[in-house]
Amino acid sequence: MRSYDIDPEQSVSIVAILLFIDAAFTGFPLLNSLIRGGVFPLLGVALVAALVAGGVGLLKGQRWGWYVSMGAICFRALLDLVGFSLLALLIDGLVIFLLTRSSLRARFGVR
């Protein structure tokens, strides 16, 4: 392992925690909108479900967890890019960086 590589087990934990935090920050405004009588944001609920499912899949060591996490966080990064949310975009970039490390991809069997 190179000196700049992070342990894959630690990377999985860090990414899962960041995915859960991202799901919370995405889900709480949706919940507030629903309580106030807004429309049902199906896309937002699907994004929260994908973030949580990806985090759980990563923690369980499932291969599909990597794909779901990568898809959800890339979609979230596009939304943050459109909304000019720089801090959220920075966190999404960190998650993408950690998910694309060769040691983490090898742990899940992704080329």
Convert the pLDDT of each residue in 32-51 to its tens digit.
Answer: 888 888 887 889 999 999 99
Q: What's the rounded Cα separation, in Å, for the pair 52 and 10?
A: 18
Q: What's the rounded Cα separation, in Å, for the pair 95 and 65?
A: 14
Decide if 65 contacts 58 (C-beta within 8 A): yes
Instruction: Determine the pLDDT at residue 41.
Output: 85
Longest dimension (CA), the chain: 53
pLDDT by position in tens, the chain (length 111): 565 667 888 999 999 999 999 999 999 988 888 888 888 788 999 999 999 999 999 999 999 999 999 999 999 999 999 999 899 999 999 999 999 998 899 999 998
Instruction: Determine the pLDDT at residue 70.
Output: 96
Burial per residue of 77-98, b for 16 or more beta-carbon CB atoms within 10 angstroms, e otherwise: bebbeeeebeebbebbeebbeb
